[in-house]
């Protein structure tokens, strides 16, 4: 089953490419404080109707280019 992540679009540079920032939260193993970590994924934006700031669901897929290995599944309505 492919990996699905939720994140926010932070950049749209190419015609079919977007950069999505995915935030994860986890507890520190010793101190149990909640820590936030961000990772940016370069995703394939097939519909090309998204804008910066949109919340989206991305899914792992076959390699589309050297760095693109995720695609946008849907936009989350706020």
Quick one: pLDDT at residue 1? 87
Place of tokens 């695609």: 71
Q: Which of 68, 67, 50 is nearest to 59 (CA)?
A: 68
Secondary structure E strands in the chain: 4-11, 17-27, 34-44, 55-60, 70-76
Per residue of the chain (78 residues), what is the pLDDT tens digit?
Answer: 899 999 999 999 888 999 999 999 999 999 999 999 999 999 999 888 899 999 999 999 999 999 999 999 999 987
The SS3 of residue 36 is strand
Quick one: pLDDT at residue 31? 97
CATH architecture of 4-76: Beta Barrel (2.40)
Quick one: pLDDT at residue 3? 94
Q: What is the pTM of this model?
A: 0.88
């Amino acid at each position: 089953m492919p990996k699905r992540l939720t994140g926010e679009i932070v950049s749209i540079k190419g015609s079919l490419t977007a950069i999505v920032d995915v935030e994860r939260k986890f507890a520190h193993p010793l101190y149990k404080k909640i820590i936030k970590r961000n990772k940016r994924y370069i995703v394939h934006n097939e519909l090309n109707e998204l804008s910066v700031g949109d919340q989206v669901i991305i899914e792992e897929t076959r390699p589309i280019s050297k760095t693109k290995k995720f695609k946008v599944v849907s936009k989350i309505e706020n």
